[in-house]
Amino acid sequence: MNFADERDLKLLDNDRYTFFVLRRIMGSDCELFITDHEKIIICYSSEPFPVWIWTRDNASETEMEDAYLKAYDNGLLDGKHKFNLKYDLAQYFIKRAKKDGISLKILINMYAYDNPDPIAPSDKCDGKLYKCDKKDVEELVRFLEVFHKEIGIDQKDTEGYRKDAKAFIDTGRMFFWKDESGNNVASCKYAPDGDMASINLVYTREEYRRKHYAENLVYQVTMIAKNEGYMPMLYTDADYIASNACYEKIGYVLRGKLCTIGI
């Protein structure tokens, strides 16, 4: 078990968007953290979250083999773990794992965006922004259950979602969009780290989609983060063309790409 220090934070400077989450979690208690403070960082927080692996751009085959063997020797290639990494390392893992009888594939293509100059939505919608409070815990639990089931990652049991819901609400940075009838139709929160704030948990209930709720919600939460002095950023599924177009309409700019691989 190694520990992160300023050298590791410096390594991530050029990948500050794509590895924003890694930067945040490697300062917390993790089940596994490996670094040589120069060419590789491997960080696994806990179930059900993915393993993050950082390597340099244009990493050599020797460096990628080292990353693979460290993952293998630490039991991470057991079929239960997913990995977030750069595309060149992902392709190396997929090819190399075949030699060990392990079939990996790309599960999610991800984009990382930031938003230096938010643009107000041209498509307005009914309703308004609503900050969640303690009475909204069970409603947020329902959002979390449906959200994670739909995206198919980081799934927990109800009590796990309840613990998360309480923590998110306690930050004062968890929001719903309420339509004109008072229904909670969409969710969004932001999480600061350093000078950036990750916009996440963006979800619109299926029956309320295509009414511009998420676009207006994300814009307003983006502005809150921006006005607090943070650079808003977010991850998206690169294959969700419509949602990516929505983010770009309100000023989000593509800054990096990575992927999730697994069995």
pLDDT confidence of residue 109: 95
Q: For the residues 214-232, what does the mean pLDDT come to?
A: 98
83-111, pLDDT tens digit by residue?
999 999 999 999 999 999 999 999 999 99
pLDDT digits (tens, 9 = 90+) for 196-210: 999 999 999 999 999
C-alpha 6/C-alpha 229 separation (Å) is 23
pLDDT tens digits, residue range 152-180?
Answer: 778 899 999 999 999 999 999 999 999 99
Confidence of residue 241 (pLDDT cuts 50, 70, 90): confident
Distance CA 72, CA 243 (A): 35
Token couple for 169 = 């609400």
**Structural domains of the chain sorted by starting position, each given as residue range(s) with its CATH number in brackets:** 6-103 (no CATH), 128-255 (3.40.630.30)
193 contacts: CB under 8 Å, gap ≥ 6? 20, 23, 24
What pLDDT is attached to residue 151? 79
Tell me the C-alpha distance between 182 and 199, whole Å: 23
Instruction: Please tell me what DSSP assigns to residue 17.
Output: T
What is the mean pLDDT of the segment spanning 116-139? Answer: 97
Contact 230, 109 (CB under 8 A): no
Q: Tell whether the model's pLDDT for residue 2 goes beyond 70.
A: no
Closest to 26 in 3D by CA, of 48, 49, 2, 43: 43
Number of H helices, E strands in the chain: 8, 11
Quick one: pLDDT at residue 108? 92
User: Is residue 247 helix, strand or coil?
Assistant: helix
pTM score of the predicted model = 0.86
Q: What is the pLDDT of residue 75?
A: 96
Q: Is 227 exposed, middle or buried (0-12, 13-18, 19+ CB in 10 A)?
A: exposed
Q: Is 62 exposed, middle or buried (0-12, 13-18, 19+ CB in 10 A)?
A: exposed
State the average pLDDT over residues 240-246: 87
Structure tokens at 258: 């990575």
118: pLDDT confidence band, cut at 50, 70 and 90? Answer: very high
For the chain, give the mean pLDDT.
Answer: 94
Structure tokens at 32: 């596994």
